[in-house]
Each structure stands twice: as structure tokens, then as C-alpha cells.
Structure 1
Amino acid sequence: MKENWQEQLQTLLNCDLKTLYPLARSLNRKLEFYVGPTNSGKTYNAMQKLKEANSGLYLAPLRLLALEGYEDLKESKIKASLITGEEQMLDEEAAHVCSTIEMLDFDLDVDVAVIDEIQMLEDVDRGWAWVNAIIGCPAKKIIMTGSVNALDAIKKIASYLGEELEIIKHQRKNELKVLPKWTALEKLEDGTALIAFSRSDVLKLKQKLQKKYSVSVIYGNLSPEVRRDEAKRFREKKSQILIATDAIAMGLNLPIKTILFTTDEKFDGKSRRKITVNEIVQIAGRAGRYGHFEAGYLGATRRDVLAYISKEFESPIRTIKPPFKVKINNNQLEALSSHIKTNSLTKILKFFADNMIFSGPFVASNISSMLEAAKIVDTRFNLKLEDKYLLAQAPITTKSSIILQAYEAYIASVIKKRVCHYKPSITLPKKAITQKDLLLVEDEVKKISLYLWLSYKLPDIFPDHDKAYILRNSFNSFIEKSLRGNLLEEDNSKKFFHERKQKNNATTRTEKKEISVKKSYKPRRRKTI
């Protein structure tokens, strides 16, 4: 009996990924890879092929890009549907769908599918979605767009699949030049984008520069709607300077003439490190948008940063190496739960990562955010495994108390099968005075996104989709107005008192005496007529 159990477990733990997608295997698919740098027209050409097809699918890395693809099709008089984790705009007559890559329907076959930013298959937390799409997307023709560092990876996966692969190379349409000298913040030209790598640094730069320039800002914590609004302001020349994190590296087409790095270091979630050549090339490629400028320019706001950027920019791009990460699916989850006799999602996920073996260049992997969520849902013993798995995939961040409290409340509603109405955690102030004020509203928007995600998965329990959607627009509007105003630094008051203390210490006794005399003198208040 034990030997039979071991044999069943070994069979379960050996997986051939391509067999999990029978519809894709039946279509005799052809793979095409439109490879090239930013500003080479590869995504534009892919979208043209999508428009020519009788039916098609655009798979985007971001909700913002899925929406842009959807609007592009609509402008070309092509009926389309939009599907993301938070919203669905369905047209029953449409034969084209634009969606975020995680929302891919493996049972909907089309003529052409465009998988954008294919180099994302290397991403630690989301790479599995690109791997699944390449292997299982049910389209007669799969067009992948991405950078050259993904070329070897695509060749290896195509070889594993035994499918025909055509590589269409794209060259940058205009030159990208490295500036010979660093650029002072006081001498910025219109159409310049400054790159920082944290929300705090972006807002500090904004506070400093808005005295001289009109400024737009883009960073990861902003909702797609606000990012889009800030990008629009810069695109329409309502702002002279863009200050951004590497959030602009993916998909946003902006009329940037010059990219200037303000630092050559970033915190990657684990440690502070130097940025890589791949990151520099991806960001720098946004400079010199074709049709707006004859060339793009790359530089820095410090001499040492420019020296590092210039050297790295000339280095070879790092190629994406196998194995490529694969996430557990529903069938594997249930089967492993049965075999190792546990309802603990955390234990199953760890067992999967430690023991699962895939044929081909793949490896079992877990998503850090899912593991964090699994620890939370596992504390609820009366929660079904399928519900645990669903909730663990929800868009949460454990860094925000607002989101964590909401997540716990939503879990309780799922357990009790009790209707959960959306309630804001904060009341909007008249305006955001500090970075902390703004962060609270940004987190509230993320909480709304969590509710909207659940409203599509469990609409009977989370019915307030429309209300949450309207409130999100209101909060986003507040954020947009705050970013245009004179937002103070988070530690501005502390900085003020620290500077005043230093100044007082440096003041002579005579000067202090003069100050005290001035303080004691109270002039009479003049009457005004």
C-alpha cells in the first residue's frame, strides 16, 4: 500500500507542462518573437498584426497597458473587450480581448495573440504568468514582443514545445546618446525625465524642483489611473519635467528627450544595490521617442552616477537563463493536499517548491506575496483549501496596515458567507500636507483594488463593485490634485526643528541676547481704516 502511495506521489510530482494545455497543443501554433530595444516599433507592429486578425488577444503586463491596447483597438473601429483583475468591459460581439496576462483564458482560442514584454518571464513573482502564456495560450499565431535578453529563453521554450519559431529583429529608430557631462538640477531642459528609485526620493525631488519647473511624477505606489493622468500632463506639455521611478520602464510611451539618473542604486526588496545594465538600458530606451526627437539622451545629475551609468551602458546585456519559474495550479494543489494529508496552504506550497519536477527548462517556484498571504489564511482552520488558494492570490501588501485589516475582514466574510459592503478606512482631508497623508490615500486606493478583485471572484459576498469604483475615482482625483500642489516632505517639521537647533547653537551670546530683546518687544497693533 505504501509503495503504491509512493508511486502515485512520484507520478504527481513529475509534470510535463505542455500536456496541461490540450487546446493549445491542438492548434499547430506558430511562434513569432518581435525582438528589439525600446523605441524600435516592435509592439506597434505586433498590434497591427492583431488588428488584421479575425480574432485576437492582447496580453499586457499592466492594467494600464491592457486599457491602452483596448482603446487602440476601439479607435481603429475594432470591437473589443477588456478583462483585468479589477474590471471587465465586455462586448458580446467582440472577437478581440485585451487583458492583463494573469487573466488569460486558456479555453478561448483565437487567430492571433500578442504577449507583450516577454522578458518579464524572468520576474521573481510574476514570471510564471508569461511562462504559462507562452506554453498554453490557445492561438494559431503567438506574437511575443520583448528585449534581446529574452531571445535565448524563447528559443529554449520553443524547442521544448517543438513549435516553429520565427525571430523578427527590430532596430531602434533613432540614436541614443550618452551625455558627456553631468547635468545640474538648476539647468534642466523641457522634456527631461529624472529617475529615482523610491517614492520618497521622487516626492523630495518634486518638492525641490516645483519652485522652478512644472512637474509630473510617476511611481509604483500610484494607481494606474493617476500614473496615466500624470503621463498625460507631461505628454501634453502641461508639465516640463517628469520625475519617476523605474515604473516608466514598461510600456509608457512618453515624449522624453533626456533621461537623467539621480542615483545609481536601488533597494530591491532585500538589499540596496547598484542598478544593472539591463535596468539602465530598459529605462534609458524611453528617451528620444521616435517622431518627437531626432535622438534620445542619457545622463545623470551627479558626476559619479554618470561615470557608472556610462560604463554600464556599454556593457553586454545579461541574458535570461533557465530554469523558468512555474506556479502551482489548482489540480496540483488538490492532489498534493490529498497525498500529504494537509489543509495547510503554506505546507503544500513549500512541498511543491521542494519536490515538484518539470520536464523542460522549468522549476517549481512560489510567489513571496502568496506565501505571506498563505500564512494569514492558514490561521483560519474553518477555511476551505480552495478558498485559501483564491484569497492567497489576492493583490495585497503586508506593508500596509489599512490593507491587512481589510484583508482580515474580507477573509471573515468569506468564512461566514456574509455580505461585505465596501467601507473606506479614512476620510479624505481637504488636501494632503505631508507624504504620510498622501500614502494613506494611496493605500486606500489599493484597498479598493483588493475589494474590486474580490467582487469579480465572489460577487455575492462582495457586491459593492460600482460603489468602490466610484470611490476609487474620487480618491484618485484627490491624489492627482495633491501631486500638483505644494506637498511637504514627510519629515519636514523634524527637519525644520533640527535646522533651527543647529542655527541656535551657532548663534553667539550677543546675537541670542538681541533675539530675546526683539522677542520681548511687542509693538502696538495698528488700526486699519
Structure 2
Amino acid sequence: MKDNWQEQLQNLLNCDLKTLYPLARSLNRKLEFYVGPTNSGKTYNAMQDLKKANSGLYLAPLRLLALEGYEDLKESNIDASLVTGEEQILNEDASHICSTIEMIDFDLDIDIAVIDEVQMLEDNDRGWAWVNAIIGVPAKKVIMTGSVNALEAVKKIASYLSEDLQVIRHKRKTPLVVLDKFTSLDKLEDGTALIAFSRSDVLKLKQKLQKKYSVSVIYGNLSPEVRRDEARRFREKKSQILIATDAISMGLNLPIKTILFTTDTKFDGVSKRKISVNEIVQIAGRAGRFGLFEAGYLGATRRDVLSYISKEFESPIKTIKPPFKVKINNNQLEALSSHIETKSLTKILKFFAENMVFQGPFIASNISSMLEASKIIDTKINLSLEEKYLLAQAPITTKSTIILQAFDSYIATIIKKKVNHYKPSITLPKKAITQKDLLLVEDEVKKISLYLWLSYKFPELFPDNEKAYILRNYFNSFIEKSLKGVLIDEKRFEDKPKFKTERTKKQDRTSEKIRDRNQKSNKKRF
């Protein structure tokens, strides 16, 4: 009996990924890779092919890109639907779907699928989604777009699948010129984008430069709607200068003439390090948009940064190498839970990463955000393993108190099967004054995104999606207005919050009760 159990476990721990997608295997798919640098027209050409198809699917790395693809198809009079984790616009007559890559439907047979930014398969937390899409998207023709560093990776996966691959190379449409001298912040030309690598540095630069220039900002913590509005202001020349993190490396078409790096180091979540040639090339490629400029320019605001950028820019791009990371799926989760006799999601995820073996150039991997969420979820009782797995994939950040408190409340809702109506955690003033003020509102928008994500998974328990959309627009509008104003250095205002969270409001109510009680006591005394 024990030998049989061991044999079953060993069979479970050996997986051939391509067998998990029988519909894709039945279609005799043709693979094409539109490879080239930024500003080479590869995604444009892929979208043109998609428009000609009787049915099609666009898989985007960002909600913002999925929305732009959806709007592009509609402008071409093609019926389309939009499907993201927190937003679904469904058209019964749609022949095409634009979706974030995690939301792919592996049971939908289509003519052409476009998988955008395929070099993302190297990403530690999201690379699994590109691996699954390349292997499993059920399309007769699969068009991948991406940079040259992903070429060998795509070839290896195609070889594993025994599917034909055609590589279609694209060349950059405008030259990219490295400047000889660093550029002073006092002498910036219109159409310049300054690159920093943290939200704090972006806002500090904005604070400094907006005395002389009109400025737009883009960084990762901003919602897609606000990023889009800031990009629109820059595109329409309502702002002269753009200050951004590497969030601009994907998903926004911007009229940038010159990219200037303000630093050559970034914190990558683990340590502070020098930026790589791949990162420099991806960001720098945004300069010199075809049709607007004859060339793009790359430089820096400091002599030492320019020296590093210039040298690194000339070095070879680093090729993405196997193994490629694979995330646990529902069936593997349930089977492993049964075999190792545990309902602890954390234990199952760790067992999967340590013991699972895949045929082909793949490796079992855990997503750091899922592991962090699983530790929270495993402390809750009366959740099924399926519910735990679903919740572990929710869009949360453990760095935000607002989101952690909301997540705890939402888990309780699912356990108790009690309806949860959306309630904001903060009350807005007229505008944000400090960076901390702004961060609270940004986190509130993320909390709304979490609620909307859950409203599609548990619509009966989280029914306020329309209210949440309205509030998201309201908070986004507040952020947009605040970014156009002056944010004062928060160190001068650390003890003076400009608006209140639910916790501070409760503290105020308690203080008022104590004050009232003391006043009544004093009246009795005298």
C-alpha cells in the first residue's frame, strides 16, 4: 500500500506541461515571434494582423495596455470585449477579446492570439503567466512580441512543444543617440523624461522642478487611470517634462525626445544594485518616437551616471536563460494536499517548489506575494483550500496597513458568507499636502481594486462594484489634482496628518467621549 502511495506521489511530482492544454495541442498551432527593440512597430504590426482575423485575443501585461488594445479594436469597428482582474466589458457579438495575460481563457478556440511583451516570462512574480500562455493559448496562430533577449527562450519553448516557429525581425525606426555630456536640471528641453527608481525620488524631483517647468509624473503605485492622465498631459504638451520610474518601460506611447537617467542604481525588492543593460535599453527605447522625432537621445543628469549608462548601453543584452518558472495549478494543489495530508496552503506551496519536476526547460516556483498572502490566509479557519488558493492570488501588498485591514475584513466576509458593502478607509481633504497624504489615497485606490477583483470572484458577497468604480474615479481625480499642485516635504508635517483614516477617526471619537465625560463630571463637581 505504501509503495503504491509513493508511486502515485512520484507520478504527481513529474509533470509534462504541454499535456495540461489539450485544446491547444489539437490545433496544430503556428508560432510567430515579432522580435525587435522598442519603437520598431512590432506590436503595431501584430495588432494589424489581429484585426484581420475572424476571431482574436490580445494578451497584455498591464490593464492599461489591455484597455488601449480594446479601444484600438473598437476604433477599427471591430466588436470586442475587455477582461481584466477587476473590470469586464462584455459584448455578446464580440469576435475579439483584450485581456490581461493572467485572465486568459484556455477553453476559447480562436484564430489568432497576440502575446505582448514576451520577455516578461523572466519576471520572478509573473513570468509563469507568459509560460502558460505560450504553451496553452488555443489559437491557430500565436504571435508573440518582445525584445531580442527573449529569442532563445522562445526557441527553446517552441522546440519543447514541437511547433513551427517563424521569427520576424523588426528594426528600430529612429536612431537612438547617446549624449556626450550630462544635462543640468536647469537646462531641460521640452519633451524630456527624467528617470528615477522610486516614488519618493520622483516626487522630490517634481517638487524641485515644477518651480521652473510644468511637470507630469508616472510611477508604479499610481493607478492605470492616473498614469494615463499624466501621460495625456505630457502628450498634449500641457506639461514640458515627464518624471518617471521604469513604469514607463511598458504600456505607454509617449512623445519623448530625450531620456535622462538621474541615477544608475535601484532597489529591486531585495537589495540596491546597479541597473542592467536590459533595463537601460528597454527604458531608453522610449525616446525618439517614430513620426514625431528624427532621433531619440539618451543621457543623464550627472557625469558619473552618464559614464555608467554610456558604457553599459554598448554592452551586449543579456539573454533570458532557462529554466522558466511555473506556478502551481488547482489540480496539483488538491492532489498534493491529499498526498501530504495538509490543508496549509503555505506548506503545499513550499512542497511544490521543493519537489515538483517538469519535463522541458521549466522549474517549479512560488510567487513571493502568494507566499506572503498564504501566511495570512492560513491563520483563518473555515476556508476551503480552493478559497485559500484564490485569495492568495488577490492583488494585495503587505506594506499597506489600509490594504491589510481590508483584506482581513474581506476574508471574514467570505468565511461568514455575509455581504460586504464597500466603505472608504479615509476622508479626503481638498488636496494632498505631503507625500504621506498622497500615499494614503493611492492605497485607497488599490483597496478599491482589491474589492473589484473580489466582486468578480464572489459577486453575491461583494455587490458594490458600481459604487467602487465611482469612488475609484473620485479618488483618482483627487490624485490627479494633487499631482498638479505642490507637495510639501512631509518631514515638516510628520505630526500633522491632513486627513484621517478609520483608525484616527475612532481615536478622535474616543477622545470626544472622554472629553464629554470629563465636562459632565466637572459640572457635577461645581
TM range (shorter): over 0.9
Q: Does the CA contact (< 8 Å) of 1:325 and 1:362 recur in 2?
A: yes
Maintained 8 Å contact 2:33/2:144: yes
Q: Is the 8 A contact 2:434 2:493 kept in 1?
A: no
- What's 1:119 paired with? 119
Task: Find the residue that maps to 2:383 and give its secondary structure.
Answer: coil
Offset from partner CA, 1:248-302 (integer Å, 9 cap, x none): 0012110000000000000000100000000000000000000000000000000
SS at structure 2 position matched to 1:185? coil
CA distance in 2, matches of 1:141, 1:282: 27
2:396 maps to: 396
Tell me the number of residue pairs that the alignment of Structure 1 and Structure 2 aligns: 495
1:249 aligns with 2:249: yes
For 1:143, what is the secondary structure of its paired residue? strand
1:193 aligned partner: 193
Structure 2 counterpart SS, 1:454 = helix
Distance 1:458 1:28 in 2: 37
Q: Any idea what the Cα deviations from partners look like across 1:115-135, whole Å, max 9, x if unmatched?
A: 000000000000000000000
Partner of 2:168: 168
Distance in 2 between residues matched to 1:115 and 1:384, nearest whole Å: 33
Deviation at 1:383, TM superposition (A): 1.1
Measure, in 1, the Cα distance between the counterparts of 2:346 and 2:420. Answer: 26
For the residues of structure 2 that align with 1:179 and 1:318, how far apart are their CA atoms?
23
Partner in structure 2 of residue 132 of structure 1: 132
In structure 1, the partner of 2:42 is: 42
1:68-467 → structure 2 map (5 Å cutoff): 68-467=68-467
CA contact (8 A) 2:59 2:100 kept: yes
The AA in structure 2 aligned to 1:102 is E
Q: Which has the larger radius of gyration?
A: 1
- Give, as a single letter, the amino acid of the residue that structure 1 aligns with 2:302: R
Say if 1:115 and 1:145, in contact at 8 Å, map to a contact too.
yes
Instruction: Give the structure 2 partner of residue 468 of structure 1.
Output: 468
- 8 Å CA contact 1:111–1:141 kept in 2: the answer is yes
Deviations 1:94-131 (A, max 9, x none): 11000000000000011000000000000000000000
Deviation of residue 380 (structure 1)? 1.0
Partner residue, 2:9 = 9
> How far did residue 382 of structure 1 move?
1.6
Q: What CA RMSD, in Å, does the superposition of the two structures yield over aligned residues?
A: 0.9
Which whole-Å CA distance do the structure 2 matches of 1:51 and 1:492 have between them? 54
Matched, 1:53 2:57: no
The SS at the match of 1:270 is coil
One-letter code aligned to 2:426: I
Structure 2 unaligned spans of 5+: 495-526
Paired with 2:384 and 2:110, the residues of 1 have a C-alpha distance of: 35
2:378 partner amino acid: D
User: Is 2:402–2:444's contact at 8 Å kept on the other side of the alignment?
Assistant: yes
Question: Whole-Å Cα distance in 1 between the matches of residues 127 and 490 of structure 2?
Answer: 35
Give CA deviations for 1:316-375 in whole Å, capped at 9, x if unaligned.
000000000000000000000000000000000000000000000000000000000000
Q: CA deviation at 1:490?
A: 2.1
- Mapped contact 2:451–2:468 kept (Cα < 8 A): yes
Q: Could you tell me whether the CA contact under 8 Å between 1:287 and 1:296 is conserved in 2?
A: yes
Q: Match of 1:186, SS?
A: coil
How much does 1:435 deviate?
Answer: 0.3
Aligned 8 A contact 2:155 2:165 in 1: yes
Q: How high is the sequence identity, in percent, across the aligned residues? A: 84
- Residues 132-177 of structure 1 show CA distances to partners (whole Å, capped at 9, x for unaligned) of 0000000000000000000000000000000000000000001000
The question of whether the paired residues in 1 share the 8 Å contact of 2:323 and 2:362 is answered with yes
Q: Structure 1 CA distance, aligned partners of 2:189 and 2:492?
A: 28
- How far apart are 1:201 and its partner, in Å? 0.3
**Is the CA contact 1:203–1:489 (under 8 Å) kept in the aligned structure 2?**
no
TM-score under structure 2 normalisation?
0.94
Amino acid at match of 1:148: V
How far is 1:493 from its partner?
5.0
Q: Tell me, what secondary structure is at the counterpart of 2:143?
A: strand
Q: Which amino acid aligns with 2:386?
A: E
Question: One-letter code of the match for 1:308?
Answer: Y
Name the SS for the 1:437 alignment partner.
Answer: helix
Q: Would you say the 8 A contact 1:261–1:305 is kept in 2?
A: yes
8 Å Cα contact 1:28/1:140 also seen in 2? yes
1:488 Cα deviation from its structure 2 partner: 1.1
Look up the match of 2:479. 479
Output the CA distance in 2 between the equivalents of 1:233 and 1:382. 49
Q: What is the alpha-carbon distance in structure 2 between the residues aligned to residue 285 and residue 37 of structure 1?
A: 7
Aligned equivalents of 1:33, 1:271: Cα separation in 2: 34
Residue aligned with 1:420, SS? coil
TM-score, structure 1 as length reference: 0.93
